[in-house]
Amino acid sequence: MQHELHELQRRRTKLEKLLLGHHPSLRASESLFPEWDTFAGEFLVHDGYQRLLTSIIRVQNRLRNCTKFAWITRYRLANLNYVVAPEKLMTLDELPPGWGLLESNDRAGLNLYQQPQFMRIQNPASWLERIGQSATARWLRQEGLVGKSEWFQPTLNL
């Protein structure tokens, strides 16, 4: 599984370099030098690239016993995602696509090892609304006020 993940990550890096050559508008322009620019792949509709990212996430989930990294990225819960780990604990192959890596050590605190990719998030109020709806519906079912077959849809006026 580690070897498969390494190969998928290598293919992703190569594909991103090729796509940047064909789509220069996908450069994130976060640095002074173009060779250090990150790839803003969220704006690209490319079936092969999306399938490759899906494969990477699938292999990472099998390796990590279905951790929630993929969910955070899929549901766009944050603009910038970081993994904070001790030095040399994690390789870039193990890092979820688009995530940054901060390595901690005793001397310097946190060092940025991999820059994250900026991701657009959905309206945060919609997530809070859904969380509130779910919690309210669960509470009403526990109290016996609403049966399991009934569906409770409160409205939230912002």
Domains of the chain, residue spans: 2-114, 123-158
Q: What is the pTM of this model?
A: 0.48
pLDDT, residue 2, reads 78
pLDDT, residue 80, reads 86
Residue from 136, 144, 114 nearest 13 by CA: 114
pLDDT digit string, tens, across residues 73-126: 767 778 888 988 898 888 887 787 788 999 988 787 888 888 888 877 767 677
pLDDT, residue 106, reads 79
pLDDT, residue 157, reads 52
Residue from 55, 70, 74 nearest 5 by CA: 55
Chain mean pLDDT for the chain: 77
Residue 88 is encoded by which pair of tokens?
Answer: 């040399």
pLDDT, residue 103, reads 92
pLDDT class for 150, splitting at 50, 70, 90? Answer: low
